[in-house]
Structure 1
Amino acid sequence: MTNEAQDALGARTVARITWRLMPLLGLMYLIAYIDRQNISYAKLQMVGDLGLSEAVYGLGASLFFVAYFLFEVPANVILERVGARLWFARIMATWGLITILLGYTQNTAMFYVLRFLLGAAEAGFFPGVLFALTLWFPQAHRGRMVGWFMIASAVANAVGAAIGGALLDLDGLLGLRGWQWVFVATGIPAILLAAVVIFILPDGPQKARWLPEDEKRWLADTLAREQAGAGHTEHANPFKVLLDKRVQILALLYVAFPLAAYGLSYWLPTVVKGFGVSNTANGFINVLPWIAVGFALWWVPRHAARTGETTWHIVIPALVGATALVLSVVVPGNAIKFALLCVAAAGIFSGQPVFWSLPPTFLKGATAAAGIAAINSVGNLGGFVAQNVVPQIGQATGSTLAPMLFLAACLYVGAGMVFVAQAALRRRALAAESSDLTPLRR
């Protein structure tokens, strides 16, 4: 087969997989993100009804991330063994049920338990998708695919913002408070979609009935060549990847991004409420930052793939996001402050798809599943920090915008650590290359 024919086959294969796979994965993430973020709107009534302080609410919200941290690596190892179809359906059904139960929370202890169980139920979904993408797409396409996948988080925040405020205004319907409707109405779609996943999601390319045999061979050959030529690491015990310094550095670096993302997205409804708007208006105003995020998630990974450059496509968005957060505190006027928060949101999210193109360059198999999960689980502890520190800063200062300075500082540190991580990856790659050449020298 000529090079032109091979290129055409590859383009056709990637296009077919993209249109068959990504809409479903995106819809799954959209529902997951709505169920993860709905608490930011429920909070506006829930804290008063249950008598929760800001600190108690912050701890309860953040217990999600503790469970996520504890269960994410084992969940991803199980996914690699049992397949994406069954495991994703299990994840969605359990998190949907727990989300509905949150609507019937009676006290602080119940709130804490259900938030922890929600994190345990969802653990493995996001890193599971990242791992699944390594089985479906060659390296050159993964950053774009992660970008497309993460656009669902922007859509979810926009949809969640629009419906979150509206659901609060259903207060009293069928005897339920508005915050209860937020949980019940957003938990049901996850259970329904779990049944859909069981029937239509293939476990891998070789089991996809809609993928022709020549395209399956092209994909299998391409992925095999990439793994053979890139010095990928694979352990008999995948949990040994937790000792890999590259994984540890990437995990510490990644903390800054979920910390800033969750700190901003959970706190935005509270910031906008401080502008003196209604619940419904609050929801619709909060659609705007996620429109900006969606555009940035489309453009940045696309530009990175076209140029072949990764470092600055992570660093520059982080610096832009951090600077916008700082300016949102010091400039006057609610409209300008909110516009800067929109820019900050775009910067915080848009470098992440490029970041997630890094781990599959040196890991494979169950080790890749464990490594990706480890990075994501440690990074998501940033969400735990954000949910505790941000309310405390707001409470101590009496300002809804002062916490943005803390988020900005974390992003600046994260941007600097990108260079440390890239240097570590280059050193190990050179060492592996030198080791491969040693027999030839002899």
Structure 2
Amino acid sequence: YRYSVYCSYTLEVSTSKTLGNTEVYDLISNHNYRRAIQVTFPEAGTIESLSICHAGGRGNMLMAVYSNSSGVPGSRLGVTSSVPVNSSAGWQTVSLVSPVTVSPGQTVWLSWVFENTVGVRHTGGSPARAQSGASWSGGMPQSFGTASLGNYRYSVYCSYIPGSSSIKLLGNTDIYELISNLNYRRAVPVTFTEAGTIQSLSICHTGGNGNMLMGVYSNSSGTPGSRLAVTSSVAVNSSAGWQTVSLVNPVTVSAGQTVWLSWVFENSVGVRHTKTPPARAQSGESWSGGMPQSFGTASLADFRYSVYCSYTLPGSDETIPADEADNTVSDLFPMEKEQVLIYPNPTDGEFTVSWKNIYDHRLIITIYSISGQLLKTVKTDPGINEIILNLNGMMKGIYFIELKDRKNDIILSRSGIIKK
């Protein structure tokens, strides 16, 4: 007999890959020091989770991803939540709280620590594992700390999604030589080659005071039309360089769509530009006109400005919620307490950070990703006001540089930098 009964099924298409030691080794190590193994990525990707093969146990565990610092674990890039250890032997996989993006050729360290003694599968061999003198009480700190190396391989690997960062840039990322000090409301056009969601706008200026606004306008017969989105009113960075401001509500755009990126300053602030098309649009209004629903009458002239937008591709989870946008902007760019220059910006990797004053103690320079993830921390020597850093091993995109006086617990400056 045949009955009118059927099942529905879905096709399984997995884009995830693994990197590390997926073999279950014979030996078991019962030490519960914080340890790590290194892996080098053959392609760009985003680390989603970490897996470890252990003998089962009790209590909790933590796993994390650390940067590579001269052959040992450096600063923490991502961490899992504290989770109970599986009581049975075998593989245990834990997701990172925030995924970690990596670039081709980048080496990172996969780290773990247990609350109680749990046997982890391993064997002899290189590359060496790193071991901290700290155990569970040390957790997964921002810096791995002093580590000893030993030629052991552990059954630990990561799972990652191949592909570059979903954050892309569109507009003029070059820092042009000319400076315009007029404070009319202006805008430059950009045309999208793919669908996406505009998250933030960036402008390169000479530094100043007062506030600024940025906005996105539709295209109306070759000039700015109706307003699609706007930023909050934020304080202008006092130091020269790029300033990035998040939109209150991100804007979805389609492939082939042209929009205008607009800005206006409360006071006169020099904006980098050059004399080439496509033409910028200029309103007869300045700060008092704000960012109205309609851009209004505009004159066109062949000038390009150092202005661009950052956007995410469809399906990305990197959107900044509207109710967090104001806090994000003010947190990223507080009022400057030090005159800081970052150059070249954009950079191919190496760049210089200089500041005006001399301090008799160390300063802390921290590099963050656009999502706020800590990537690198450097301590300066006392008595200097310049240091050379690099973004080697990091993907193309926007990063934030924070200069902090830890002795007095003061953030002196936060600035943006682009790796091209």
Q: TM-score, normalised by structure 2?
A: 0.22
Bigger helix share: 1
User: Could you say which structure has the larger radius of gyration?
Assistant: 2
